[in-house]
Structure 1
Amino acid sequence: MGLKGIVAGALAAAALAQPASAGEQKLGDYLAGRAAQRQNDWVAASSAMTRALSVAPPDSDLRHNTLLLAIAAGDIATAARIAATTPPGSTDSPIASLTLAVEKLGKGDVAGASKATDAMPSAGVTHLARPLLAARFAAARGDLRAARAALDPMFEIDPTKDLGELEAARLDDKLSPVRAIARGLSEYAGFLAAQEQLDPSLLLSRLSLHLVPNEPSALVRAAEALARQGRPAEALALFDKVPAKDFWATTASRGAVDCLHALKRSGEARARAEAAVKANPKDVDARLKLGDLLRKQKSYAEAAAAYDTALAMLPADSPRRWIVLYARGASRERIGDWDAAEADLLQSLSLKPETPTLLNFIGFAWAERGMNLTRARELLERAVKLAPDDGAIADSLGWTLYRQGEFGGAVLELERAAALQPSDGVINDHLGDAYWRVGRTREAEFQWVRAVHLATDPVTARSIEAKLQQGLAAADLSR
């Protein structure tokens, strides 16, 4: 359900169960917390929910949810206080036990942390965390055989066995339990992030940072999770803590570029990307990051030039060539160099023929130009089969049918696109055009009104307003 969804039900119910004054306080904290959650602002959400918990009667759901928010906010001291009130065997017992073990270890109480680990239930996030901690405590005692045996559950749970093998290889690295467990929790966070489990990845990263506040891998993992949760300022602050000469510095630098762009600090983003290229002129990834940034900033000619250099650096058989050709083709299309763009895109397609977004880009570009409509339709029908729930692809297929004069089929496909992405102005505009062509003029006008309100630029809005005034010319199938 995620950190945003798990809080609402418990707090709403608890607020209703209070006397008026306590209930009003809880309701105020609840509303503040919910507003913060909608923005993924874990610090504000944690603060509000902790206040709500302080005036609430015992409530397991509220306690569990507030515990998670405190960890996500990096407030492990508050999380540990909440965890200490958790009854054994409750639903939040696993994460509470892990929090207490980490908190004890952070205070230097290795024996207490080891004891808490032994009592830790194996469920949820602790399925892999418990053996990780137990192995490290055994290694710290000098018992490598017991340490390796403690890792056995990791191999049983993780089908890839990657995390277990990594930890097994590091058992004799002579790190202290604090540093070793901090690094292990960070690796676990990366394992979860690769599976798109951002919330637990953030929790484990925060626990790692509680143990070693400057652990570079954990700084990067937490920052990456926050960035993907729409918190670029907080993510940037963590990326910028990674030392410049650390192994993780390159990853942090590229993450910082994305955060600066998201914060609309375009000049700083570009300066950092260019500095990375200057510092490592043979680093193809630095060139690609610069190209991607320039494309996002709509500096398409410069982006294409960056991709030129990157392609020249990549081996002819590199599996990455298709995506760079795609990016360069998209950039060239934007500057009006269609012949070169088409060549790039078709070469990319030959290398990666079952990529829905690439099929869609080529098919829609052809349809917009009124060229190769039969082939465009074939590509888009393939794309729809590969990504049936993508509204943009459904729109492209519908628009191609429209350009072929198959208005009935266009209506059906564009209606499906509008259902998938109702707030897309282009889709609503296209659907309005298709309705007009089949004589459903009132519905066409309704869609055009929606499209005007959803238009992202004044030129598009004016062209739609003209259709509202004049309708569509009978012979013009370009609109």
Structure 2
Amino acid sequence: MADPNPGAYLAARQANVANDFGSSAHYYTKSLLSDPTNAALLEKAMTSFMALGQLDRAIPVAQAMVEKGYQSQMANLALSAKAAKDGDWSDIFTALEQGRGVAPLVDGLSQAWAHLGEGDMKKALNSFDQLIETEGMAVYGMTHKAYALGLVGDFEGAEAVYLEAAAKGQLRYSANSAMAHAQILSQLDRNDDAVAVLDSVFGTQRGPKVEAMYQALRAGRNLPFDTVSSATEGLADIFFSVANAVKGEAPDNYTLLYTQAASYLDPDNSNSVILTAELLDNMKQFDLANEAYASVSRDDPAFHAAELGRAQVLFAAGRKDAAIEVLDALTRSHPDVPQVYATKGDTLRRAGRYADATPAYSRALELYDSSSPVTWFVHYTRGITYHKTDNWTAAEADFRAALDMRPDQPQVLNYLGYSLVERGEKLDEALDMIEKAAAAQPENGAIIDSLGWVLFQLGRYEEAVGYMESAAALLPVDPVINDHLGDVYWAVGRETEAQFQWQRALSFDPVEADADRIRDKLSRGLDLVLRDEGLDPIRMASGND
């Protein structure tokens, strides 16, 4: 036996905590050289490979664990995926008979699809029916039963399943099951009913795939049934459905194992690939997320959604120019998709390229339907770019346009209200706006800061103190808020505390212009700074000028 390698083990643990799956796979594998039968090391090595999407490397580890009698849900998941990919359906039955299941829902659906894989539709339907009768599993059982019937061309039977689910109050559409139902109805020459299903589930928020279906239905074409085209894809949908159900509740690194298993079985399913990329993005594994997004085919209806995600992770990784290049390419390949231009505007704005962002937002507004629920946000963000480029008239018009659509939207109320305060304009209206925003989001430090600051500008210094102190408690390391609190303390005669807050503000790296002004206040006091700026000095509560 090789000597123990504590360095590799510690490196593996650290990489695992950081969700650095490549490094954790490397170091856990290295650790196994000195302790090849360690169940915990085998589990971690295997799940690291699975998280990377390298199931071909995870499966031998899973097989070794089973041979050694170790119990592992994820080993069972990996081996179930292998059996489905290879068409070795008997392996799934054997595993279940030996108690090597994944979870009751996954096991029941896997068994049903395995029967179908073997060509025994009667046993498959019996298995689906058993799930339908099991508490908490009826929706999944009915959905997959309909898929299975659609797969074998029994569209009347599949529609009967949807009707039964509706009659029992058990019809719960996912995006996939809604599209499947539309395809089934279309195969029954009921395109109008298919459109009604898509409308009820997606409304105007149709993604590219749904939009393509919608247009085909409107044109009178029959949709092929391709939601599930094999028993193997049936299992892939199980894994994806589980991931979709637990995302946001289970840890991302656990959910990721299901999406990677789904992609292993059905690599062309962009839904699984995109969810994988989103999970990796959440875990700040930007390079892996970029690879996942980039794997979506240019011919896939979801290509532009994947590219939007890729631009996001590139930006998050600090590759701002690369992100903008992706979006530039998208405007050429998808010139009529408003979300592309809105995202390009957001990315340029976040990069500080406000003048370049404005026309992107303008093009998005030209393309969006006037009834779209997102246009308020585009007006808001374009207003920010106008404000940053000193076009206040256009900025105010956009902010007010956003408020016409969303009168109580806190971010817009706060931004417009704060900007009016900074300009010394319409202060009473600004106060009303910010009070409304603060009532809606009392734990938002930026909004509470705005409320304190407008009271300060109105000369209501004592009232401003409490709000500014609350804002500083909510955002304790924000240089602007600490600077504002110092000014408010100065105004009520609490000079020592004002000096302390200004010093704190400097320690949090304010922009250089603000830093210079803070240093001036520390040197001479706020009143002399205001006087040199052509403003009236504050008459302090102590009575000193």
After TM superposition, is the score higher than 0.5? yes
Q: Give distance in 2, aligned partners of 1:353 and 1:423.
A: 31
The aligned residue for residue 217 of structure 1 is 271
Give the one of 133, 157, 160 matched to 2:110.
133
Q: Which residue of 2 aligns with 1:74?
A: 53
| Paired residue type of 1:74 | G
Q: Which residue of 1 aligns with 2:518?
A: 464
**Displacement, 1:42?**
2.8
- In the aligned structure 2, how far is the partner of 1:470 from the partner of 1:321? 47
1:162 equivalent to 2:139? Answer no
Return the match for 1:105 from 64, 67, 84: 84
Question: How far apart are 1:258 and its partner, in Å?
Answer: 1.7
**Alignment map for 1:42-441 (pairs within 5 Å):** 42-48=21-27, 69-76=48-55, 77-78=57-58, 81=61, 85=65, 94-116=73-95, 119=99, 126=103, 129-140=106-117, 141-143=119-121, 145-146=125-126, 148-149=128-129, 152=132, 153-155=136-138, 161-163=172-174, 165=177, 175-193=229-247, 198-213=252-267, 215-441=269-495
Q: 1:34-74 CA deviation, whole Å, 9 max, x = no partner?
A: 64356432332454456668878999988877765553343
Greater Cα offset, 311-320 or 205-214: 205-214
Q: Normalised by the size of structure 2, how large is the TM-score? A: 0.71
Counterpart code for 2:51: A
1:324-382, Cα deviation, whole Å (9 max, x unpaired): 11121111111111121112112212212333322222222222223333333333233
Contact in 1 for aligned 2:62/2:78 (Cα 8 Å)? no
Query: Structure 1 residues 55-64 or 233-242, which shifts more?
Result: 55-64
Rounded Cα–Cα distance in structure 1 between residues aligned with 2:314 and 2:440: 34
1:450 aligns with 2:430: no
Distance 1:83 1:35 in 2: 26
**SS of structure 1 residue aligned to 2:297:** coil
Amino acid at match of 1:244: R
Per-residue displacement from partner, 1:247-285 (whole Å, max 9, x unpaired)?
Answer: 221111111222232333333322321221122222222
Query: 1:208-259 CA deviation, whole Å, 9 max, x = no partner?
Result: 2333455433222211221232222221112112111112211111112222
Asked if structure 2 preserves the Cα contact closer than 8 Å seen for 1:192 and 1:200, the reply is no
Amino acid at match of 1:420: L
- Alpha-carbon contact 1:151-1:168 (below 8 Å) kept: no
Question: What runs of 5+ residues in structure 2 fail to find an aligned partner?
Answer: 142-169, 185-224, 529-535, 539-545
The CA RMSD measured in Å over matched residues stands at 3.8
Task: Give the counterpart letter for 1:206 in structure 2.
Answer: Q
Q: Secondary structure at the match of 1:423?
A: coil
- Give 3-state SS (helix, strand or coil) of 1:388's partner: coil
Q: TM-score, normalised by structure 1?
A: 0.79
Q: Which residue pairs with 1:12 in the alignment?
A: none
Unaligned runs of 5+ in 1: 1-20
Please report how far the alpha carbon of residue 160 of structure 1 lies from its aligned counterpart in structure 2 after TM superposition. 7.7
Q: Distance in 2 between matches of 1:363 and 1:127?
A: 55
- Counterpart contact for 1:135–1:151, Cα < 8 Å: no
Taking the aligned partners of 1:66 and 1:444, their CA distance within structure 2 comes to 55
After TM superposition, give the deviation of residue 83 of structure 1 in Å. 8.6
**Are the structure 2 counterparts of residues 78 and 278 from structure 1 closer, same or farther at C-alpha, using a change threshold of 3 Å?**
closer
- Offset from partner CA, 1:304-341 (integer Å, 9 cap, x none): 21222221222222222211111211111111111211
DSSP-derived class of the 1:473 partner: helix
Q: Cα distance, 1:422 vs. partner?
A: 2.1
